[in-house]
């Protein structure tokens, strides 16, 4: 029985082919690595899109914050006028809804990147 195993092991080639250099799959992986890495210090498309998305979330959050402050200021200066108070309440409600939308967009983006495995395409953290 040991002779059968020994002869079977002798037929196995001792050197395994390198999949990253000789197969089409290895070539595709190599091309993907090149596409994801920056060229001459320039960012990749995924890095640019990640940065644009991060800036858009920050900008939207700032707008929501300003709208919240504006609505609160209008309510404080309404002086008991019910029309001004209702306008201020609508601004505050819009700000809370806007905050919820911004937070949901950020959470959905992070969830998509983490579950979908796309974190390398759209890196949000500096490495």
Q: Give the pLDDT confidence of 7-58 residue by residue, as tens digits.
A: 655 555 554 555 545 555 555 555 555 555 666 667 777 777 778 888 999 9
Report the alpha-carbon distance of residue 73 to residue 112 in Å, rounded.
Answer: 38
Query: Which one has a higher pLDDT value, 80 or 18?
Result: 80
The span from the CA of 18 to the CA of 42, in Å, is 30
This prediction has a pTM of: 0.57
111: pLDDT confidence band, cut at 50, 70 and 90?
confident
Neighbours of 116 (CB within 10 A): 10
Ranges of H-type helices in 12-81: 19-22, 24-36, 45-76
Q: Give the residue-averaged pLDDT of 85-104.
A: 94
pLDDT in tens, 56-74: 999 999 999 999 999 999 9
């Amino acid at each position: 029985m040991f002779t059968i195993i020994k002869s079977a092991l002798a037929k196995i080639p001792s050197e395994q082919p390198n999949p990253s250099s000789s197969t089409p799959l290895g070539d595709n992986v190599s091309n993907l690595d090149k596409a994801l890495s920056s060229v001459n210090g320039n960012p990749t498309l995924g890095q640019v899109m990640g940065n644009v998305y991060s800036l858009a979330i920050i900008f939207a959050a700032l707008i929501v914050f300003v709208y919240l402050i504006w609505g609160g200021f209008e309510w404080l200066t309404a002086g008991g006028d019910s029309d001004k108070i209702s306008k201020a309440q609508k601004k505050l409600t819009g700000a809370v809804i806007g905050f919820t939308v911004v937070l949901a967009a950020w959470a959905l983006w992070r969830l998509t990147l983490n579950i979908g495995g796309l974190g390398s395409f759209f890196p949000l953290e500096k490495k």
